[in-house]
Chains A and B, each alone.
Chain A
Amino acid sequence: MNIPKNIFYTKDHEWARIEGKIAYVGITDYAVHSLGDITFVELPKIGKELKQSAYCATVESVKAASDVFAPLSGKVLTVNTQLVTNPELINQSAYEKGYFFSMEFSNEAEKANLMDAASYQKYVEGISK
């Protein structure tokens, strides 16, 4: 299971890579593996205000549909439109080319609700048992 060190994680298996005031958001390798081949994503509209832990996107495989929740509150800046035609990018590169969108997050304190790589690793091992 690939769990990169420098980014943050949620219990719903989203990740956030933070660069200054901007967060890049996607779903983790664990989420990708439990879904299988991703066939479709529905991304938020640019400019949409997101709330931490609230619904922000949908990701689908052949036999499952899963809601994606915002890791932080803030405004959507850009969306990865490549995913619309090539959802397989999420399978190929969950943490890089398969990111969903970027956002300008509004509340620094919310970072405390996220896990670092080590805690997420433990969390995932807990579920897998």
Chain B
Amino acid sequence: MNPFDGSSRATGKSRGMKLIFEKHRDGRRGFSYGLSDVSGTKPLAGKYCRATEARLPCLSELDVVRHYTNLSRLNFSVDTNFYPLGSCTMKYNPKFTERIAAFEGFLQLHPLLPQLSGGGMLAQGSLEVLYESEKLLAEITGMSAFTLQPLAGAHGELTGVMLIAAYHKDQGLRRKYIIVPDSSHGTNPSSAAIAGYKVKVIPTGADGYMDLEQYKKQLNNEVAAVMLTCPNTLGIFNPKIKEITDLAHNVGALMYYDGANLNAIMGKCRPGDIGFDVVHLNLHKTFATPHGGGGPGAGPVGVSKKLVEFLPISRIIRRADATFALDYNHPKSIGYIAPFYGNFGVILKAYAYILALGKEGLIKVAEIAVLNANYCQARLKEYYDLPFDKTCMHECVFSASRQAKNGVHALDIAKYLIDQGYHPPTIYFPLIVKEALMIEPTETESKESLDDFIDTMIKIAELAKNNPSVVTQAPLNMPIKRLDEVRAARQPDLRWKP
């Protein structure tokens, strides 16, 4: 069985891969549970049983292995390609953390064990990992305490906004609004809305920073919080961040720090020291846990002193005898935001990563991430418009407006890069930059890999000038050409049907 239907991937002439359902053969088995050692039990009454069979594919184990192995080969990944996807921090994920996460003692542990009477000592190793991780993250960010429960960055945002709501409610104030800049990640306004707030959007000024005058106008005692990403999604650090924070605090609003871009500032400044009240981190970004094709991530939330009592339960405590325990005695807690203690497997990998890098290693991460981004910016700014021309942090944002005049749009550049073996930068985000190309190289990429990428980008800029159709036709070297997204949206085909 050839997954590419008789032609090689290199030529890109295949007819596409069959669905696993299309490889089904009645009677084929990929796995068997063998004979049950229990028999003769009375079957469940028919009225409770499904009448129609789940039409799962039936294949041999090799069929399944070959199918998914070949599917994997159709992906770009950090381990196979440079992946400068802005805002996503696609750094190298060290392999040793995978081995640690697979230790039997961690992998097989039922989350309810420490909640059983007499079960307190059954999960001491995992509880210690969680306790120590909270302490390390608190020191890295300058916050008073952390919860590791949030299961992704956006989930952390929602948790953070709920903490803010609980705080204001406790103060006897119902506040209505959350302020976000127009450069924010879409998750910020969305998280605010889902937690029951109205959103006020502040425009970005010509300097790339949130417009301070507009901000002052919108800020009043009905504002619950201000959500900021710093450095922002343009990759620049606002030197007036402290002023913004103080202004918010003056009207009783809290400051929320979107930690998506923490990679840029580790050891260089801490949200807690600036005066932020709530911080979420993306462990899969800053702390190198694999992104897994879209997750799982982990989105721990840190808070300043005045919000600690509202953190979700359970909390993890260290007792006088150096053992660890779950603590539910927090009457002002917002409650459960996840079933247990967070995405433990992800937290564990991040913990191992932090231990390996240590203080100096984490500082170096920020330094080299910023060096790499500025190097890309410096070498490319002659060829692409740079809407905010200043020292960037961990990522730089170009505009393909100049190329677009010749019909070569950010999307075309992305597709040409794919043909050349590069995962494209983030395109069309932030929304405030026309034809945006958001490049985040990360610290684990060498000068050689940056140079190769930059040379390709320069070549694209030249082609856009002299031979644009070469770019707009791309990709030509991949198993498929550009896909009809309009058709996908007009006539949704979301599942296999026989």
Judge if A87 is at the interface, Cβ distance under 8 Å: yes
Please encode chain B, from 416 to 431, with 1 for each CB lying within 8 Å of some chain A CB and 0 for all others: 0000000000001000
Q: Identify which of B280-288, B305-313, B485-493 touches chain A.
A: B485-493
- The chain B residue with its CB closest to the CB of A63 is B428
Chain B interface mostly helix, strand, loop or mixed?
A: helix
The CA of A11 and the CA of B485, in the complex, are separated in Å by 30
B428 pairs with A39, CB closer than 8 A: no
In Å, the complex CA distance between A124 and B486 comes to 27
Least CB separation from B489: chain A residue: A39
Closest Cβ of chain A to B489, distance in Å, is: 4
Complex CA–CA separation, A37 to B490 (angstroms): 10
For A39, the chain B residues whose CB sits under 8 A away are 486, 489-490
Contact with B along A49-70 (1 / 0, CB 8 A): 0000000000011110000000
Distance A63 CA – B486 CA, assembled complex (angstroms): 10
- Report how far A40 CA is from B492 CA in the complex, Å: 11
A42 at the B interface (CB under 8 A): no
Shortest distance from the beta carbon of B405 to any chain A beta carbon, whole Å: 15
A60 and B490 alpha carbons, distance in the complex (Å): 10
Q: Does A88 contact B (CB under 8 A)?
A: yes
Return chain A residues, CB-CB under 8 Å to B486. 37, 39, 61-62
Specify which chain A residues have a CB less than 8 angstroms from the CB of B489 in the assembled complex: 39-40, 60, 62
Residues 22-39 of chain A, each 1 if its beta carbon lies under 8 Å from chain B, else 0:
000000000000000101
With the chains together, A22 CA to B489 CA distance in Å?
33
B-side contacts of A62, CB under 8 Å:
485-486, 488-489
Q: How far is the CA of A87 from the CA of B490 in the complex (A)?
A: 8
CB distance from B334 to the nearest CB of A (A): 31
In the complex formed, the residue of A with least CB distance to B428 is: A63
Instruction: A87 to B488: give the CA distance in the assembly, Å.
Output: 13
Q: How large is the interface on B (under 10, 10 to 19, 20 to 34, 35 or more residues)?
A: under 10
Q: Closest Cβ of chain A: how far from B434's Cβ, in Å?
A: 13
**A-B pair number, CB within 8 angstroms:** 15
Q: Which residues of B contact A37 (CB under 8 A)?
A: 486
A88 to B486, CA, bound (A): 10
Scan residues 460-498 of chain B and give those whose CB is less than 8 A from a CB of chain A. 485-486, 488-490
When distances are taken between beta carbons in the complex, the residues of chain A under 8 Å from B490 are 39-40, 87-88
**Shortest CB distance A42–B (Å):** 14
Contact residues of A between 86 and 107, Cβ < 8 Å to B:
87-88
Chain B: minimal CB distance from A111 (Å):
32
Q: Give the complex CA separation of A37 and B485 in angstroms.
A: 10
- Nearest CB of chain B from residue A22's CB, rounded to whole Å: 30
The CA of A63 and the CA of B186, in the complex, are separated in Å by 14
A62 to B486 Cα, complex, angstroms: 6
For window 168-219 of B, CB contacts with A under 8 Å fall at none
How distant is the Cα of A61 from the Cα of B485 in the complex, in angstroms? 10
A129 to B370, CA, bound (A): 37
Looking across the interface, which residue of chain A has its beta carbon closest to that of B411?
A63
A89 to B428, CA, bound (A): 27
User: Cβ of B428: which chain A residues have Cβ within 8 Å of it?
Assistant: 63
Residues of A within 8 A of B485 (CB): 62
Cα distance, A119 to B428, chains bound together (Å)? 32
Greatest chain B CB density within 10 A among A37, A61, A88 is at A37
Chain B residues whose C-beta falls within 8 Å of the C-beta of A60 in the assembled complex: 489
Q: Which residue from chain A places its CB closest to the CB of B490 in the assembled complex?
A: A39
Which residues of A lie under 8 Å from residue B488 when comparing CB positions? 62
Closest to B485 in A: A62
Bound CA span A63–B488, Å: 12
Bound: A40/B485 CA distance, A: 13
A60 to B486, CA, bound (A): 11
A87 to B486, CA, bound (A): 11
Minimal Cβ-Cβ distance residue in B for A91: B486
- A62→B489 CA distance, assembly (Å): 7
Q: How far is the CA of A94 from the CA of B76 in the complex (A)?
A: 41
How far is the CB of B126 from the nearest CB of chain A, in Å? 43
CB distance from B122 to the nearest CB of A (A): 50
Closest residue of chain B to A62, judged by CB? Answer: B485
A86 to chain B, nearest CB (A): 9
CA distance A39 to B428 in the complex (A): 20
In whole angstroms, how far apart are the Cα atoms of A59 and B488 in the complex? 16
In angstroms, Cα B485 to Cα A101, docked, is 27
Note all chain B residues with C-beta closer than 8 A to A63: 428
**A39 to B490 Cα, complex, angstroms:** 5
The CA of A78 and the CA of B428, in the complex, are separated in Å by: 38
Residues of B within 8 Å of A40, CB to CB, are 489-490
Q: Return B313 CB to nearest CB of chain A, in Å.
A: 38
A interface footprint on B33-54 (CB within 8 Å = 1, 0 otherwise): 0000000000000000000000
Task: Name which of B428, B485, B486, B488 has the most chain A CB atoms within 10 A of its CB.
Answer: B486
Having A40-B489, A61-B486, one finds 8 other A-B pairs with CB under 8 Å, namely: A39-B486, A39-B489, A39-B490, A60-B489, A62-B485, A62-B486, A63-B428, A87-B490
Closest 10 CB pairs of A and B: A39-B489, A37-B486, A62-B485, A39-B490, A62-B489, A62-B486, A39-B486, A87-B490, A40-B489, A88-B490
In the complex, 11 of the A-B residue pairs with CB atoms within 8 angstroms, ordered by the A residue number, are A37-B486, A39-B486, A39-B489, A40-B489, A40-B490, A60-B489, A62-B485, A62-B488, A62-B489, A87-B490, A88-B490
